[in-house]
Amino acid sequence: MEPCKSCDFENTEGSLFCGGCGVDIGIKCDRCGEINKNQAFCTNCGQVVSSDLEARYESQNLSDTESIQYEPHQPVNSEDQLLPKPGQLVDLITVSVSAYKQNFKSFLILALVNGVPALLIGIIVRALLEAETISLQDLQQYGETQLSGNFFSELKTIPTWKIFTILIFILISPIAKLISATAIIVGAAQFTNSQKVSPIVCLNYSMSRLGRLIILSLFLIGLLIIPVALSLIWIGIPILIFLLVRWLFAWSSMVLDNTGITRSIQTSWELVEKRWWSTFGVFLSILILTMLPIILLTLLSSNLKSDLTLLILDVFVGALISPFQFIVTGIYFLSLKKFPKS
């Protein structure tokens, strides 16, 4: 446990932000024990440290040459970005839009970490399927109605190596999505710290947590199996929605606070305590807002005959929308920590 110098809150080892007051804290290098201030690489031995946000060195501890080398980015504004209070939808959207506009290129790069693989996977899977007797139109038809014996007989004609290749690409897609989403959340934290969003730093930080993030995702999927099954008969829908909102910030906690699996889930659960309805309302509004471009794309796609064109449009729209969604998530998470419910 590491006490915060500002409020004496006991933080877990490797925490990026203080759980009590939200300030960024120094991280101890696992190799040499050097204390680094939100630095991607240890200043003593060069080891990648657990906290990767932009360096904020105290110049008195560095030589003149080192001070120039490790000089942090200038703040986006002269004053720190103000976090909106939880539940204030308009302020949340305003701050999130400001973060997106001021760092549009960086967030777009982070979104393309998921968009480019999605595009390539879509093209490759289509090429593999179209080379066989089964067509994409038939596949869609079977998916919308009911799988028939003819479909399975046609599926058997596809070589085994192609099926395994398709499955591998399908597994890559959610991992790329996870990396992109958590990297954008780190970028949102950089913005609230008045730092310029760095795609390399955000990706470095997200990748350092990737193993635990994958396990966390699988663990939550396992916990949600029963509510999802019950939702098929409508009984589990309220339970499913309740749990999704309570566990919404588990990934944010893990990537920003360096918490473990159970602690991340517990942190998210506690942050939403007594704020479930306001959190639900905010993210329902964000969901509706971001669904509008997708609805327009769906209407547009009815006039398109090219699957490739539709795929490119889908990836393009997703790359523009996803940063805003995860910026909102990151900023709201930090707001919940800064303004705890009494």
Residue range 128-162, pLDDT digits in tens: 766 554 544 555 555 545 445 555 565 566 677 77
The reported pLDDT for the residue numbered 4 is: 72
What is the rounded radius of gyration, in angstroms, for the C-alpha atoms of the chain? 22
The reported pLDDT for the residue numbered 126 is: 78
Domain ranges of the chain: 1-72, 89-208+274-338
Bridge-based pairing state of the strands 35-37 and 26-28 = antiparallel
The reported pLDDT for the residue numbered 131 is: 57
CA distance 115 to 322: 10
Task: Give pTM, 2 decimals.
Answer: 0.72
The reported pLDDT for the residue numbered 160 is: 77
The reported pLDDT for the residue numbered 233 is: 85
Q: Identify which of 114, 115, 111 has the alpha carbon closest to the alpha carbon of residue 323.
A: 111
Q: If phi over 0 gives left and psi between -120 and 50 gives alpha, with beta otherwise, what is residue 275?
A: alpha
CA distance 342 to 325: 28
| Cα 111 from chain centre | 10
Beta bridge partners, 35, equal 28
Report the residue count for the chain.
342
The reported pLDDT for the residue numbered 244 is: 96
pLDDT tens for each residue of 52-86: 443 433 333 444 443 434 344 443 343 345 799 99
The reported pLDDT for the residue numbered 67 is: 40
**For the chain, which ranges sit under pLDDT 70?**
1-2, 5-6, 9, 12-81, 129-158, 302, 305, 342
| Cα 91 from chain centre | 21
The reported pLDDT for the residue numbered 64 is: 43
Asked whether the beta carbons of 196 and 244 are under 8 A apart, the reply is no
